[in-house]
C-alpha cells in the first residue's frame, strides 16, 4: 500500500568545548550557543580511503572562546549533538543522529578578524570567526587497526571479514550492514602483508590479491552508527527487511510544485524524492585522464579475459590513450560494466530531507519525468559515490538541512546491459521494467576466452 505521508525535516545542534589547558589538566565544559554556528557540513566519501565522516563547522565566538579553541586543540575536545524532527508531523519526534566527542583542528584558512555584529546600533568587535574540522578518535583509531604481518589459518572469507577484519568496530558502531559475499573461499593459510595497516587496506588486499569476494568493487564505510561493507552492484541490500533499500529520484520540470517543495515521501516500498532540473547536474566526462581502455581480468592466478573498456568520454574517443589495468574478479562482465559507466556522474541537491536515508547500501534509480527528452540521459540505476550534508541557520537555534549527493551510474551488471533512455524508471516488481539499449554482452565465462568490445 502506498504511503504518501510527506516528510520534511529541520535540524538542531548543541555544541560544547571540553576545554583542557594541558594534557593532564581538568576538563571545563563551555557551552557554545547554537546562534554562534554560522554553518556546518558533514562529508561522506564512499569511494575514498577516508572511510569515516568528516565534519567542518564555522563558528563565530567570543574572543575568549576563540583563544581557547586555537590554543588548546591538542588536548581539548568538541562535544556535538545533532538532532532532527519532521516538521510536517502532527506529533514531531526529535531524533538524535550524531552525539559524540570529537577531536578538532582549526583550519589554516580561518579568518583571524573580528566579525561585525550590531547590537543596539553599536558594533561589537569582541567576536571572531573560526573554522574547525572534527574527527571521531574512536572511529579513526578502529579503522587504523593493523592486520598485516600475520598468518590466518583455516578461515573462510566471510568469517575472516566478519570476525577478524571488522571485529575492532563492534564497540564503535551499533549496527553492521554486510552484504553476503559472492565467493566464499576456504583459506588454509592466509597471510596479510605487514604494510596493510588499516581495515580498508586489508579488505582491498583480500579482494584484489586473494579472493574477489564481490564480483564488483566494494564500498567500506564507518558511519556514526553503522558500518557498511557492500558491493557496487547497485541492487540494494539491508539485513533488516523493514528498511527501504530502493530510492527513486524523479527529475521534474521546475514548474511542478512537488519538485520545488522540500522533503520526500514513501510509495510502494520505495523512498521517492522529487527534484527540479535546476538542482541536478549531469557530467559524463569526469576524470577523463584516468579512464581505462583495457582491463585484464584474473580469476585466482590465471587470466580469464582481456577486455577493451568502452567509455562515453568524448576526449578519450577523440584521442584514445591505451591504459591497461589488471583486476581480479570471478565475473569479468561485472567488472567491465562497472568501469564503463564509472565516469557518468549525476549530482542532486535537495533541502529538508532526512539525510540518513541516503546510505551506500541503497539502490538508486533516477527517472526523467520532465517534458523534455533531454533529461532521458539521466535515467538509470546508480550507486552513491559521496554525500555532503549542509546545515544553514534557519531560525534561532534551528538549521535547514540540505544534502548534496553525487551518484555514479552502473549498468545491469548481471546481464551486461546498459540501462538508458528509459521513459519510466522503476523499482523491481512495482512498476514497468527498464528499456535497454546499447546492449553489449560478454562471452568471457570460461578460462582462456578473450573478448573484444569496440570503443564507441
pLDDT in tens, 373-414: 888 888 889 999 999 999 999 887 899 999 999 998 886 444
Do 24 and 103 lie in one domain? The reply is yes
Q: Give the number of domains in the chain.
A: 2
Domain extent for 22: 3-141
- Using CA atoms, how far apart are residues 421 and 418, in angstroms rounded to an integer? 10
The average pLDDT across 328-354 equals 71
- Using CA atoms, how far apart are residues 352 and 277, in angstroms rounded to an integer? 18
The average pLDDT across 277-304 equals 58
C-alpha cell at 228: 557498511
- Using CA atoms, how far apart are residues 38 and 60, in angstroms rounded to an integer? 7
* Domain final residue pick, 104, 125, 141: 141
Do 93 and 164 lie in one domain? The reply is no
- Summary mean pLDDT of the chain: 78
Do 152 and 102 lie in one domain? The reply is no
Could you read off the pLDDT of 14-25 as tens digits, one per residue? Answer: 999 999 988 888
Confidence of residue 290 (pLDDT cuts 50, 70, 90): very low
Do 69 and 128 lie in one domain? The reply is yes
C-alpha cell at 340: 564503463
Residue 48's pLDDT is what?
81
Do 88 and 174 lie in one domain? The reply is no
- pLDDT surpassing 70 at residue 253: yes
Residue 156's pLDDT is what?
95
The average pLDDT across 417-422 equals 33
Do 148 and 126 lie in one domain? The reply is no
Do 133 and 162 lie in one domain? The reply is no
Residue 308's pLDDT is what?
53
Residue 440's pLDDT is what?
31
Convert the chain into a string of H (helix), E (strand) and C (coil): CCEEEEECEEEEEEEEEEECCCCCCCCEEEEECHHHEEEEEEEEECCCCCCCCEEEEEEEEEHHHHHHHHHCCCCCEEEEEEEEEECCCCCCCCEEEEEEEEEEEECCCCCCCECCEEECCEEECCEEEEEEEEECHHHHHHHCCCCCCEEEEEEEHHHHHHHHHCHHHCCCCCEEEECCCCCCCEEEEEEECCCCCCHHHHHHHHHHHHCCCCCCCEEEEECCCEEEEEECCCCCCCCCCCCCCEEEEEEECCCCHHHHCCCEEEECCEEEEEEEHHHEEEECCCCHHHCCCEEEEEECCEEEEEEECCCCCHHHHHCCCCCEEEEECCCHHHHHHHHHCCCCEEEEEEECCCHHHCCCCCEEEEEECCCCHHHHHHCEEEEEEEEEEEEEEEECCEEEEEEEEEEEEECECCCCECECCCCCCCCCCCCCCCCECCCCCCCCCCCCCCCCCCCC
Could you read off the pLDDT of 126-135 as tens digits, one per residue? Answer: 789 999 999 9
- Top pLDDT among 412 and 196 is at 196
Residue 177's closest CA among 136, 218, 135, 144? 218
Q: What percent of the chain has pLDDT over 90?
A: 45
Do 179 and 211 lie in one domain? The reply is yes
* Domain final residue pick, 212, 231, 250: 231
Q: Which range has the worst mean pLDDT, 158-172, 187-201, 301-315, 338-352?
A: 301-315
* Domain final residue pick, 231, 258, 292: 231
| pTM listed for this prediction | 0.79
Residue 177's pLDDT is what?
96
- Top pLDDT among 406 and 120 is at 406
The average pLDDT across 209-234 equals 91
* Contact in structure between 347 and 358 (CB atoms under 8 Å): no
Q: Answer left, alpha or beta for residue 317, where phi above 0 means left and psi between -120 and 50 means alpha.
A: alpha
Confidence of residue 331 (pLDDT cuts 50, 70, 90): low
The average pLDDT across 263-286 equals 82
The average pLDDT across 414-420 equals 35
Kindly tell me the sign of the dihedral angle through the C-alpha atoms of 354, 355, 360, 364.
Answer: positive
Amino acid at each position: 500500500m502506498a504511503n504518501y505521508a510527506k516528510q520534511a525535516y529541520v535540524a538542531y545542534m548543541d555544541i560544547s568545548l571540553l576545554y583542557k589547558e594541558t594534557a593532564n589538566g581538568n576538563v571545563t565544559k563551555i557551552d557554545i550557543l547554537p546562534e554562534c554556528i554560522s554553518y556546518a557540513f558533514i562529508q561522506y566519501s564512499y569511494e575514498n580511503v577516508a572511510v569515516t565522516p568528516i565534519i567542518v563547522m564555522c563558528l563565530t565566538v567570543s574572543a575568549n572562546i576563540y583563544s581557547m579553541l586555537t590554543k588548546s586543540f591538542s588536548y581539548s575536545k568538541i562535544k556535538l549533538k545533532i538532532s532532527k524532527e519532521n516538521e510536517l508531523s502532527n506529533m514531531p519526534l526529535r531524533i538524535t543522529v550524531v552525539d559524540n566527542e570529537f577531536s578538532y583542528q582549526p583550519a589554516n584558512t580561518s579568518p583571524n578578524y573580528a566579525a561585525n555584529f550590531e547590537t543596539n546600533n553599536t558594533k561589537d568587535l569582541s567576536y571572531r570567526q573560526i573554522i574547525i574540522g572534527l574527527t571521531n578518535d574512536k572511529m579513526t583509531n578502529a579503522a587504523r587497526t593493523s592486520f598485516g604481518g600475520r598468518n590466518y589459518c583455516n578461515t573462510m572469507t566471510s568469517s575472516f571479514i566478519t570476525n577478524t577484519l571488522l571485529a575492532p568496530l563492534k564497540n564503535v558502531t551499533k549496527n553492521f550492514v554486510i552484504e553476503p559475499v559472492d565467493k566464499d573461499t576456504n583459506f588454509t593459510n592466509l597471510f596479510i602483508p605487514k604494510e596493510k595497516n588499516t581495515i580498508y587496506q586489508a579488505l582491498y588486499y583480500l579482494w584484489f590479491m586473494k579472493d574477489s569476494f564481490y564480483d564488483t568493487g566494494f564500498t567500506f564505510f564507518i558511519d556514526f552508527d553503522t558500518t557498511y561493507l557492500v558491493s557496487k552492484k547497485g541492487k540494494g541490500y539491508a539485513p533488516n527487511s523493514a528498511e527501504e533499500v530502493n530510492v527513486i529520484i524523479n527529475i521534474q520540470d521546475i514548474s511542478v510544485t512537488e519538485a520545488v517543495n522540500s522533503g520526500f515521501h514513501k510509495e510502494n516500498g520505495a523512498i521517492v524524492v522529487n527534484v527540479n532540473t535546476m538542482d541536478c547536474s549531469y557530467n559524463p566526462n569526469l576524470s577523463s585522464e584516468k579512464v581505462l581502455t583495457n582491463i585484464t581480468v584474473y580469476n585466482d592466478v590465471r587470466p580469464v579475459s582481456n577486455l577493451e573498456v568502452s567509455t562515453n568520454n568524448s576526449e578519450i574517443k577523440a584521442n584514445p590513450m591505451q591504459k591497461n589495468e589488471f583486476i581480479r574478479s570471478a565475473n569479468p562482465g561485472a567488472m567491465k560494466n562497472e568501469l564503463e559507466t564509472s565516469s557518468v556522474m549525476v549530482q542532486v541537491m535537495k533541502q529538508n530531507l532526512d539525510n540518513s536515508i541516503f546510505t551506500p547500501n541503497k539502490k538508486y534509480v533516477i527517472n526523467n519525468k520532465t517534458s523534455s527528452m533531454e533529461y532521458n540521459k539521466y535515467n538509470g540505476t546508480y550507486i552513491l559515490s559521496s554525500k555532503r550534508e549542509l546545515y544553514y541557520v534557519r531560525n534561532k537555534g534551528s538549521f535547514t538541512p540540505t544534502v548534496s549527493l553525487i551518484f555514479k551510474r552502473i549498468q545491469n551488471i548481471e546481464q551486461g546491459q546498459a540501462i538508458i533512455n528509459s521513459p519510466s524508471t522503476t523499482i523491481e516488481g512495482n512498476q514497468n521494467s527498464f528499456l535497454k539499449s546499447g546492449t553489449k554482452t560478454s562471452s568471457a565465462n570460461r578460462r582462456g576466452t578473450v573478448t573484444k568490445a569496440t570503443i564507441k
